Amino acid sequence: MTLFQPFTLPNGVSLRNRFVMAPMTTYAGLDNGDVSNEELTYYRERANGVGMLITACAHVAANGQAFPGQIAAHDDAFIPSLRRIAQTIQQGGAKAVLQIHHGGRQARKALVPNEDIVSASAVVGSHGELAREATTAEVDALVDAYAQATRRAITAGFDGVEIHGANTYLIQQFFSGFTNKRTDKYGGTLEKRLTFPLAVAEAVLNMKKAHASEDFIIGYRFSPEEAEDDGITMDDTAVLLARLQQLPLDYMHISLGDYRSTTHRYVKGEVNRIREVRALLRDDLPIIGVGSIYEAHDAEEAHALGADFVALGRALLIEPQWVEKVKAGEGVATTMDASNPQAIPPKMFDMLRSHAGWIPGL
């Protein structure tokens, strides 16, 4: 299988294979934002097979926390915690990539200072809480927050960072016409809605240039479409990708629930999203495909569609040694035994059990 062969990123870093552990929220951090021993064990069990492991998202500003138990990267005080994560992952042989994130309208009032949540505009999050529109100066500061979190990841010894521009969080909120109703430099036209995502990417890249070597990995995760009438379309995403690929990024990570999913609002009609993203990007900029990959044939199909890397999420929850077993020609479990949580932190396991059907067997 080609996916077991090494792959060299644009910055020259070689990964031992093309399997990636997808970033998944663990709810396992300590109340102060430090990593817990439970979360370290969870990563340790899954770092021995994949070529790269992307952590659960770490919030880059105190007002960006979207989940209880979310690890933090918004202050230098968290560098020792971040270092523990990086070292744990690297001990298994995987490249350690910290996903940097701000919840925006999806942040929770109970989790942020003064219950003050901000977004591109005054919009309600999926939990029903209203965010206020951030001032232009606050948005400028948020751009720098991603850069400072990158510096902390570099200091902590991570191999890279992934900019979380997907899943309805802050960066996506600025790009989307559904959530961005601003009239300043950060909103209005599609071109202005690109300003914040591009500014974040450029700030992160500049921080790498100032504090890291060329082999520090920088990736960008994005959601290709939104369901709302004035939300992101695949045509919008094509413009975003055209701009992002002009920057020295090392990969693009398409966020999908199913690798077989197709576009639903696109000038070209209904086409496979992974295949279309591959066609939109330059050949030497790899993409990570993800979504409902449980067995080896799923991974091969996603790769055939154009995914240079295949990210495993639920498969690694069910079977932490998925990569090793598939490489050895062994069968892998595709449903989870509720009596064996596979080193998944208890609060994460409880959350998984509460979402019937998301993990087969639970």
Residues serving a catalytic function are 169
CA nearest neighbour of 162 among 278, 53, 301: 53
Q: Between the CA atoms of 327, 328, 334 and 340, what dihedral angle is there, to the nearest 10 degrees?
A: -120
Q: Quick one: how far is CA 77 from the chain centroid?
A: 23
Count Cβ atoms within 10 A of the Cβ of residue 327 and give its class: 0-12 exposed, 13-18 middle, 19 or more buried. middle
